[in-house]
């Protein structure tokens, strides 16, 4: 077992070497209120990368201090809804061309880092998709969690369109047409990117609402109105995850994961409908109450 801070990462190839790669790599990490996780994430790659850049989005806890104490350059960034866009200043600030992008809840295993080092040293790829294992709802099952999910996390900055990225939700920076793209085979638990996402139902539901708000604002025109046939897609998502994806093999946990994936798309529709009542804005409780008061006043005037 390779020891990384407070977390032990299984490895089939031994611990990460303490010496840095001959070709320097910069870690770019986006964080907000991640004091519980960020230490393990940074420590897991501190002997592998040459530089660590953390983009901190107005954290109210010790996230920034922990990152600085572990040797990271911390850049402050305003809290924005399309938060993926906040990675751009960190990437542009990096002094190296090779960039490893992680979130605070992601930890690459030692076996995966060794493979990535081989790819970099061989100069056979410019953009690398990593196999990610999404651990959620207190557990993990390859079918229910969609393992391996391929995540673009390592690239040569010069081969990516960084400044052209607009931060659209569920998107990432795009490789240039001539970039050499590689996909690393995954094996759980020793050769993958461990993603400790959505640990509890309460956590995932809160995050689902945030993501759904951003998607509702970005993906639909101002005059969008939900129609009955729009409900078909969320239903398809459930059955794709539950039946075709094999979520049923994971029992109730697989059922809830499939349901949450479907509920996300239902929530996007609901928020878009709600926005149509408030001139294209997602209302908070005060805005909604004001509208209800206006309805009561109008009804009283007619009575």
Q: pLDDT by residue (tens digit) across 92-107? A: 999 999 999 999 999 9
pLDDT at 80: 85
Judge whether residue 10 has pLDDT over 70.
Answer: no
Q: At what angle do helices 251-276 and 201-219 cross, to 10 degrees?
A: 40
Over residues 249-272, the mean pLDDT reads 92
Q: How does pLDDT run across 178-223, given as a tens digit for each residue?
A: 999 999 999 999 999 999 998 899 988 988 888 888 888 877 676 7
Judge whether residue 12 has pLDDT over 70.
Answer: no
Judge whether residue 155 has pLDDT over 90.
Answer: yes
What percent of the chain shows pLDDT beyond 90? 71
Residue whose C-alpha is closest to residue 160's, from 180, 185, 136, 146: 180
Q: What is the distance between the terminal CA atoms of the chain, rounded to a whole angstrom?
A: 75
Q: Which of 206-210, 232-236, 285-289 has the lowest mean pLDDT?
A: 206-210
Judge whether residue 5 has pLDDT over 70.
Answer: no
Over residues 20-26, the mean pLDDT reads 89
With bands split at pLDDT 50, 70 and 90, how would you rate the model's confidence at 279? Answer: confident
Over residues 35-44, the mean pLDDT reads 95
Looking at mean pLDDT, say which of 71-80, 203-212, 273-282 comes out highest: 71-80
Q: Which of 42-51, 204-213, 291-300 has the lowest mean pLDDT?
A: 204-213
Q: State how beta strands 25-31 and 98-103 pair.
A: parallel
Residue 44 makes CB contacts below 8 A (sequence gap 6+) with: 4, 5, 7, 9, 16, 107, 108
Judge whether residue 84 has pLDDT over 50.
Answer: yes
Q: Per 3-state DSSP, what percentage of the chain is helix, strand, and coil (rounded to 5)? A: 40, 20, 35
pLDDT at 222: 65
Q: Which of 139-148, 163-172, 267-276 has the lowest mean pLDDT?
A: 163-172
Over residues 261-265, the mean pLDDT reads 93
């Amino acid at each position: 077992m390779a020891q990384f801070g407070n977390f032990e990462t299984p490895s089939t190839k031994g611990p990460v070497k303490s010496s840095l790669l001959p070709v320097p790599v910069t870690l770019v990490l986006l964080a907000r209120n991640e004091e519980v996780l960020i230490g393990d994430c940074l420590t897991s790659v501190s002997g592998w990368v040459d530089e660590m850049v953390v983009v901190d989005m107005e954290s109210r806890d010790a996230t920034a201090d922990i990152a600085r104490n572990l040797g990271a350059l911390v850049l402050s960034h305003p809290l924005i809804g399309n938060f993926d866009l906040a990675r751009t200043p960190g990437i542009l600030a990096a002094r190296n061309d090779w960039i490893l992008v992680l979130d605070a809840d992601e930890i690459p295993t030692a076996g995966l880092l060794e493979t990535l080092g081989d790819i970099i040293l061989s100069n056979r790829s410019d953009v690398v998709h990593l196999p990610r294992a999404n651990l959620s709802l207190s557990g993990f099952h390859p079918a229910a969690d969609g393992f391996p999910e391929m995540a673009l996390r390592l690239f040569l900055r010069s081969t990516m369109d960084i400044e052209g990225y607009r931060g659209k939700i569920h998107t990432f920076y795009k490789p240039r047409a001539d970039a050499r793209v590689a996909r690393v085979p995954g094996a759980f638990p020793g050769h993958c990117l461990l993603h400790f996402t959505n640990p509890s139902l309460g956590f995932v539901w809160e995050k689902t609402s945030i993501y759904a708000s951003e998607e509702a604002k970005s993906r639909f025109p101002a005059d969008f109105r939900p129609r009955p046939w729009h409900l078909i897609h969320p239903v398809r998502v459930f059955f794709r995850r539950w039946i075709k994806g094999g979520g049923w093999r994971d029992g109730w946990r697989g059922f809830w994961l499939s349901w949450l994936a479907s509920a996300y798309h239902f929530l996007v529709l609901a928020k878009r409908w709600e926005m149509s009542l408030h001139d294209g804005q997602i209302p908070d409780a005060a805005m909604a109450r004001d509208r209800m008061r206006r309805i009561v006043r109008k009804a009283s005037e007619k009575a």
